[in-house]
């Protein structure tokens, strides 16, 4: 199956799942990055403009992130909202400080992502919608997503696509090269990039997942990330069932 053919499979899956769930629309967090851009294009093709709402959620973000998301919305003619979560974030951090607790950078970054998840679900509940996710195969395998953050979604349409395939697919949908080839970053703090945080390049990660040879250092890093993130992909642990007398 070619990538072009598989994208049609995803579109059908997205359309069918919305109907089967008896919900009215999809709700998507639109960041301006390549993954959310692709999911936006897929959704619009699959269910139409009126059954997709994109929400841009800056939280002390680089202004260019919002600009890119707005450019994408204009390119694809998307319905969108802008909900700024900065005040919610700062008030929460301040409450911790009142208790003498200083949150570290990683915790602060994940707090931002979880506030965004809350915004998406608040809107989805209001309109009778499903939150659609943007994790790709690389992110899912390494656990490069926030538990109950960007990992807290109802459906994962591009979870079987490698990062390079996401970029290629974006171009197939007519998304500009500038957005498709943007340096991958969640924009959670100054200078943050996916590859720096993961400690491995997407090219090596793609190749590893394809079963190709990569250098031992990158291989060890990928296997380490996969191992320590297993709890993110597994069902919630529970004890044996209570068998009543």
Question: Does residue 120 carry a pLDDT above 80?
Answer: yes
- For residues 28-40, give the mean pLDDT: 96
What Rg do the C-alpha atoms of the chain give, in angstroms? 19
Q: Where residue 35 falls among pLDDT bands split at 50, 70, 90?
A: very high
Q: Which residues of 146-174 are buried (b: 16+ CB within 10 A; e: fewer)?
A: beebbbbbbbbbbeebbbbbbbbbbeebe
Write the burial class of residue 37 (CB in 10 Å: 0-12 exposed, 13-18 middle, 19+ buried): buried
Q: Which domains, ranges and CATH numbers included, belong to the chain?
A: 3-192 (3.40.50.620)
Q: Where residue 242 falls among pLDDT bands split at 50, 70, 90?
A: very high
Rounded Cα gap, residues 143 and 88, in angstroms: 26
DSSP assignment of the chain, as one string?
A: --HHHHHHHHHHHHHHHHHHHT-SEEEEE--SSHHHHHHHHHHHHHH-GGGEEEEE--SS--HHHHHHHHHHHHHHT--EEE---HHHHHHHHHHHHHTT-PPPHHHHHHHHHHHHHHHHHHHHHHHTEEEBP---HHHHHHT-S-TTTTT--SB-TTTT--HHHHHHHHHHTT--HHHHTSPP---SSTT--HHHHHTS-HHHHHHHHTT----HHHHHHHHHHHHHTHHHHSPPP--------
Question: Does residue 232 carry a pLDDT above 90?
Answer: yes
Question: Does residue 22 carry a pLDDT above 90?
Answer: yes
- Return the pLDDT at 186: 74
Query: pLDDT tens digits, residue range 129-143?
Result: 999 999 999 999 999
- For residues 227-243, give the mean pLDDT: 94
- Return the pLDDT at 185: 77
What is the chain's mean pLDDT, rounded? Answer: 95
Active-site residue numbers?
35, 139
Question: Does residue 220 carry a pLDDT above 80?
Answer: yes
DSSP assignment of 151-193, as one string?
A: T--SB-TTTT--HHHHHHHHHHTT--HHHHTSPP---SSTT--
Query: pLDDT tens digits, residue range 146-194?
Result: 999 999 999 999 999 999 999 999 999 999 999 888 887 777 777 778 8
- Return the pLDDT at 193: 87
- For residues 202-206, give the mean pLDDT: 96
């Amino acid at each position: 199956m070619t990538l072009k053919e598989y994208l049609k499979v995803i579109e059908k899956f997205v359309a069918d799942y919305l109907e089967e769930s008896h919900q009215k629309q999809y709700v998507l967090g639109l960041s301006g990055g390549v993954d959310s851009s692709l999911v936006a294009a897929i959704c619009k093709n699959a269910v139409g403009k009126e059954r997709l709402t994109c929400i841009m959620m800056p939280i002390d973000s680089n202004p260019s992130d919002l600009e890119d998301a707005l450019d994408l919305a204009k390119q694809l003619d998307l319905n969108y909202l802008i909900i700024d979560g900065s005040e919610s974030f700062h008030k929460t951090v301040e409450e911790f400080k009142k208790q003498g607790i200083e949150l570290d950078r990683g915790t602060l970054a994940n707090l931002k992502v979880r506030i965004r998840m809350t915004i998406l679900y608040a809107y989805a509940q209001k309109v009778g919608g499903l939150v659609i996710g943007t994790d790709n195969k690389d992110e899912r395998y390494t656990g490069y997503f926030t538990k109950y953050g960007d990992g807290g979604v109802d459906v994962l349409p591009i979870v079987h696509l490698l990062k390079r395939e996401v970029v290629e697919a974006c171009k197939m949908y007519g998304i500009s090269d500038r957005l498709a080839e943007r340096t991958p970053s969640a924009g959670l703090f100054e200078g943050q990039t996916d590859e720096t945080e993961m400690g491995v390049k997407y090219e090596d990660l793609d190749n590893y997942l394809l079963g190709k040879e990569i250098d031992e250092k990158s291989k060890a890093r990928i296997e380490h990330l996969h191992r320590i993130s297993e709890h993110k992909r597994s069902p919630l642990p529970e004890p044996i069932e209570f068998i009543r007398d």
